Amino acid sequence: IEALKGKLESIESIPEEFKKVQDEVKSTEKAKIQLEYREKSQREAESLSKALETDSESLSKLQGVRPTMDQLKSRQEELKAQLQKNEKSLEELRDRLTDLRSLKKSRQDELGRMQEQLNKIEELGPGSRCDRCLRPLGDDFEKIKSHISGELNGLKDEIGKILTEEGKVTDEGRAYRNEKSSLEGEYEKRQRELEALSRQLGQIEGLQKGISEKERQIQSLKQSLEELGEVRYDPKEHQSLKDRLKELESNREEYIRIHHEVSKHQELSQRRQELVSQSEEVAGKRELNQKQLEELNFKDSVFQEISNEREGAVRESHQLELKLKDQESRQQILQRELEALTERLSEAEKLKKRTDDFQRELSLLQKLEKVFGDLRIELISRIRPSLSQLSSELLSEMTDGKYRGMELDEDYNIFIYDGGDKFGIERYSGGEKDLANLCLRLAISQSTSESHDFHFSFIILDEIFGSQDSLRKENIVQALSNLKNRFQQIFLITHVEEIKDRVDNLVLVKEESSGTSEAILV
């Protein structure tokens, strides 16, 4: 131990020298990291400067986008105004055309009535009586014929003028539509150009943000380099310090080992002294206990026999307790099994009752299914052909004979005959689908009325013109007029202005400022 203490004193300065060299190595490594960071920052600053120059050149090339975009926006506003003006003119022409057709229809009806009156007068001859004053026509026969003929010629001339005016309006409308198509084409073209310029404008904004970000990064790098200052680092000195630290590390480990052995030896010496003291104390207690046993006349054999008997009784008692607990556990298990079986028996009885109920319900449902199946077959065989025929007649009338047939399959899906071929309704436009469904609804109403021997006094149709063109609207109104012999009253609810001149009675619903509505018979 004395030799170890001597050796420990000879290397006592090693830990302090190790700490000093270790601090120098850390300082040198920090200088190395700072130097590497400085060089990396300089490279980044140079790369950002080059990218900044490239972005600035790209931005300069795109600067002419905004004026061009402003010119296009101005032209778009002009085109939009022209389109609105064109649409307004077209709407006025449509209204004018509707008025002309309504007037033409009125004059043609009047012409028909007067021609019928003239034919009737000619058929009866001069000896007939006037249907108003009941006097014989006599010498006034030719005058009346001449008067009616003059009025007929006047109506024909007026109808001719109306037709001429209708042709002019139609031609003017065609010109406006051509102009509209041209304006819409130019508008879409300018819109595509605007979208392209908008994308370029987005590139400008992106470049401006990128330039600002690069300038900020360059400034941040320059500031970091200024704060870091000049860094001094010698790789050879760094390596020399690392080698010296490695050498000192070995000596330091030797120092720690010797120091540990010396400390351990001191602890063992102290522990030995404590054990000697405890041994002496135990020997004294043992001698005292021996004297006390001699005074009590203690016999070890008797004590051992009693101890054995006690241990046997304890073991027997323990065995009995275990058997009792085992019996109690088995009884609890059997009780739980009995309860589970009772519950399962109750569930089985409930399940049997539910099964019987389900069987009865299933039997009833099967019978009902068969009844409904037979009813469906009966209805399809009786009603579907009738609905198909009625719908076909209405569709042919409303489309001027373009579509002459309409058929319903077993699931009442609609099929329309076009040129002799049958197509599903999904092939047709939205307006044609609406028209086919309208014909089917009207056919259902008529078929229901006829099958129950009950005459419906009216039908109500709500917004049925929305998806139809002008010709289809005219055909629908005409077809509805032909239904007057089937329905006493036909109510049309619509916002289409051109329909108001084609109805017998017009009720205008007007909203008041108070929030209420007023119905006005026009």
Q: Is pLDDT at 415 greater than 90 in this prediction?
A: yes
Please identify, among 206, 228, 250, the residue that sits at the C-terminal boundary of a domain: 228
Q: How far apart are CA 318 and CA 298, in angstroms?
A: 30
Structural domain total, the chain:
2
Residue 488 lies in a domain: yes
Cβ–Cβ under 8 Å, residues 248 and 21: yes
Express as a percent the part of the chain with pLDDT over 90.
Answer: 4
138 found inside a domain: yes
Q: What is the pLDDT of residue 133?
A: 46
**Whole-structure pTM over 0.75, yes or no?**
no
pLDDT band at 334 (very low <50, low <70, confident <90, very high): confident
CA distance 66 to 62: 9
Residue 393 inside a domain? The answer is: no
HEC states along 46-100?
HHHHHHHHHHHHHHHHCCCHHHHHHHHHHHHHHHHHHHHHHHHHHHHHHHHHHHH
Tracing tokens 């009590």 back to the chain, one arrives at 296
Give the distance, in angstroms, between the CA of residue 299 and the centroid of all CA atoms in the same chain: 98
In which domain, by residue range, is 468 found? 457-522
Among 133-137, 303-307, 390-394, name the most confident range: 390-394
**Pairwise pLDDT comparison (301 vs 40), residue with the higher score:** 40
- For 81, 174, 177, 189, 193, the CA distances from 186, given in Å and listed in that order, are 13, 18, 14, 5, 11
- Give the Cα-Cα-Cα angle 143, 148, 152 (nearest 5 degrees): 145
Strands of 282-384 (E only): list them.
none
Report the C-alpha gap between 380 and 374 in whole angstroms: 10
C-alpha 473/C-alpha 498 separation (Å) is 9
Q: Is residue 183 part of a domain?
A: yes
pLDDT at 125 over 80: no
510 in any annotated domain? yes
| CATH code, 519 | 3.40.50.300
Tell me, what's the pLDDT at 132? Answer: 45
Which of 195, 228, 261 marks a domain boundary? Answer: 228
For the segment 203-246, what is each residue's pLDDT rounded down to a tens digit? 777 877 888 888 888 888 888 877 777 777 788 887 887 887 77
Report the distance separating Cα 233 and Cα 237, nearest Å: 8
Last-in-domain residue among 177, 193, 228: 228
Burial readout 42-58 (b: 16 or more C-beta within 10 A, e: otherwise): eeebeebeeebeebeee
**Domain-located, residue 142:** yes
Closest CA to 55 of 284, 185, 217: 217
Among the listed residues 434, 506, 446, 509, the one whose alpha carbon sits nearest the alpha carbon of residue 473: 434
Predicted confidence at residue 143, as pLDDT, reads 78
CATH number of the domain where residue 106 is located? 1.10.287.510
Model confidence over 152-181: pLDDT tens digits?
Answer: 898 899 899 989 998 999 899 899 889 988
